[in-house]
Amino acid sequence: MDKLIIHGGNPLHGEVQISGAKNAAQPLMTAALLAPGTSSFANIPNLRDIDTMLALLKHLGVTVSRENGTLHLSADNIRADDAPYDLVRTMRASVLVMGPLVGRLRHAKVSLPGGCAIGARPINLHLKALEQMGCTITLHDGYVEVDGTHLQGAHVVFDGVTVTGTENIMMAAVLAPGTTILDHAAREPEVVDLANFLTRMGANIKGAGTDRIEIQGVASLTPASYEVMPDRIEAGTFMIAAAITSGDITLRSCPIDALTLFTAKLREAGAIIDIDANKVRVRGPRRSKAVSITTAPQPGFATDLQAQFMALMTIAEGTSTITETIFENRFMHVPELHRLGANITIDGSLAIVRGIPQLTGAPVMATDLRASASLVLAGLAAHGTTELRRIYHLDRGYEAMEQKLKRLGANIERVRDKPS
């Protein structure tokens, strides 16, 4: 197992290239299941979660090849229709094969994902929507089995906003006879990226990016080529890296339009942000100001940037509140930030952060993907040495993070940790 050793205190300077978005790439890859033939994707990030998704697609019969950074997925022969427990338990996004399998084969068997570090994360909304579309759902032996023999378009009103739920149902609906209307749909940019790809495949989708998506089912789709959108969460994390180290970072391929509220909040905290085409320059203040945030589905403040923003607030001037409304257990980074000296009090879904002038390095433990990023950021700003263990979480969702940080002037090393 690897760990990161960070000697904090260097202001970060220079340019960084933002990678393709994990949360866009995963549904795009499963969408390749919808049509026989080869779909191709550029800008797929090199991440553990992408490898897990490739293992799942291979299990289903997809042939995988890579050429000059482009990923080719050939879905001529789908020989299995199940997502086994071993893959789903390591990566919840495995449930994203359910919609395409039901669309293409009218049948899917997916292991029910168990709980997760950040919350219970059930898939009841995915299943309710499929039932409304004429599918029969049975649960047995830890698996959910979907019989889509009578799959048809329907008017689905989601009880709550769900990103992968919206994506799954969109992918079933594109091959369902009739019209499907999804109300209270997720508006995340990754949903729009998927809709754009499905449209290239021949699907008929209107309204992606709004809370009402209308899909006219078609009889068949054809494979297509697509370039995955850049990762807004990675971009936001590097923007905070500039702010928290009082640095000056220019981001290339930054999806700034997907970060409107985040950008406003970072400016409020004192960062100077210049936007020029798809380059974004962020200059951090000498010391940030306290700014309160509440997470919410798009266009609200992304829950996937909450932990990183909290790291910034730990050394801001004044007191901020951070309210997490999406996941019930997404403050796991707080006890670790305490170890660096942060002053944070939690009351249910509310964290009160009293800014201190300086964090101090300490050994800490990563608990989930975004919590890891928050601890890296805190370590970059802290006085002294921070050792971050369990960075396999980080490797799930950040491409070459420490190499990118090193090029920006961070003093950060990945070393082998002795087994604990």
Q: Kindly tell me which of 9 and 119 has the beta carbon lying closer to ligand EPU.
A: 119
One-letter amino acid identity for 409? G
Binding-residue pattern over the window 309 to 338 for ligand EPU, x denoting contact by CB under 6 A: -----------------xx-----------
Nearest distance from residue 101's CB to ligand EPU, in Å? 17
Binding-residue pattern over the window 84 to 113 for ligand EPU, x denoting contact by CB under 6 A: --------xx--------------------
Please pick, from the candidates 187, 283, 370, 390, the single residue that binds ligand EPU as defined by CB under 6 A. 370
Q: Kindly tell me which of 189 and 361 has the beta carbon lying closer to ligand EPU.
A: 189
Site for ligand EPU, residues 18 to 37, rule: CB under 6 A = 23, 26
Q: Is 124 in the site for ligand EPU (CB under 6 A)?
A: yes
Q: Is 369 in the site for ligand EPU (CB under 6 A)?
A: yes
Q: Give strand ranges (E) for 103-200.
A: 107-111, 136-140, 143-147, 155-157, 179-183
Please pick, from the candidates 109, 126, 283, 393, the single residue that binds ligand EPU as defined by CB under 6 A. 126
Residue 339 belongs to what H/E stretch?
helix 333-339
Rounded Cα gap, residues 61 and 38, in angstroms: 13
Kindly tell me the burial class for residue 120, based on how many C-beta atoms sit within 10 Å of its own C-beta (0-12, 13-18, 19 or more): exposed
Rounded Cα gap, residues 185 and 187, in angstroms: 6
Q: Is 69 in the site for ligand EPU (CB under 6 A)?
A: no
Site for ligand EPU, residues 143 to 202, rule: CB under 6 A = 160, 162-165, 190
Nearest distance from residue 396's CB to ligand EPU, in Å? 8
Q: Kindly tell me which of 96 and 312 has the beta carbon lying closer to ligand EPU.
A: 96
Q: Is 119 in the site for ligand EPU (CB under 6 A)?
A: yes
Among 121, 109, 148, 143, CA closest to 132: 148
How far from each other are the two terminal CA atoms of the chain, in whole angstroms? Answer: 9
For residues 398 and 10, the answer to whether their CB atoms sit within 8 Å is no
Nearest distance from residue 273's CB to ligand EPU, in Å? 23
Q: Is 83 in the site for ligand EPU (CB under 6 A)?
A: no
CB within 8 Å of 374: residues ≥ 6 apart: 307, 308, 310, 311, 333, 337
For residues 258 and 301, the answer to whether their CB atoms sit within 8 Å is no
**Which pair of structure tokens corresponds to residue 45?**
């990030």
What is the chain's alpha carbon radius of gyration, rounded to the nearest angstrom?
A: 21
Query: What one-character DSSP code corresponds to residue 332?
Result: T
Establish whether 116 is a catalytic residue: yes
**Which pair of structure tokens corresponds to residue 388?**
């971050």
Site for ligand EPU, residues 242 to 301, rule: CB under 6 A = none
Angle at 141 between CA 135 and CA 144, to 5 degrees: 20
Q: Is 125 in the site for ligand EPU (CB under 6 A)?
A: yes
Q: Kindly tell me which of 8 and 397 has the beta carbon lying closer to ligand EPU.
A: 397
Rounded Cα gap, residues 243 and 368, in angstroms: 23
Nearest distance from residue 360's CB to ligand EPU, in Å? 27
Q: Is 51 in the site for ligand EPU (CB under 6 A)?
A: no
Rounded Cα gap, residues 399 and 410, in angstroms: 16
For residues 308 and 234, the answer to whether their CB atoms sit within 8 Å is no
Q: Kindly tell me which of 93 and 243 has the beta carbon lying closer to ligand EPU.
A: 93
- Of 116, 120, 157, 264, the active-site residue reads 116
Q: Kindly tell me which of 44 and 163 has the beta carbon lying closer to ligand EPU.
A: 163
Rounded Cα gap, residues 140 and 131, in angstroms: 17
Rounded Cα gap, residues 6 and 296, in angstroms: 32
Nearest distance from residue 103's CB to ligand EPU, in Å? 18
Nearest distance from residue 287's CB to ligand EPU, in Å? 28
Which window, 121-129, 276-284, 349-357, 398-406, contacts ligand EPU (CB under 6 A)? 121-129
For residues 109 and 82, the answer to whether their CB atoms sit within 8 Å is yes
Across-strand partners of 343?
A: 354
Q: Give strand ranges (E) for 158-271.
A: 179-183, 204-206, 212-216, 225-227, 248-252
Q: Kindly tell me which of 369 and 410 has the beta carbon lying closer to ligand EPU.
A: 369
Which window, 124-132, 192-200, 244-252, 355-363, contacts ligand EPU (CB under 6 A)? 124-132
Q: Kindly tell me which of 5 and 336 has the beta carbon lying closer to ligand EPU.
A: 336
Rounded Cα gap, residues 282 and 302, in angstroms: 19
**Residues designated catalytic:** 116
Interface with ligand EPU by CB under 6 A: which residues? 23, 26, 92-93, 119-126, 160, 162-165, 190, 303-304, 326-327, 369-370, 397
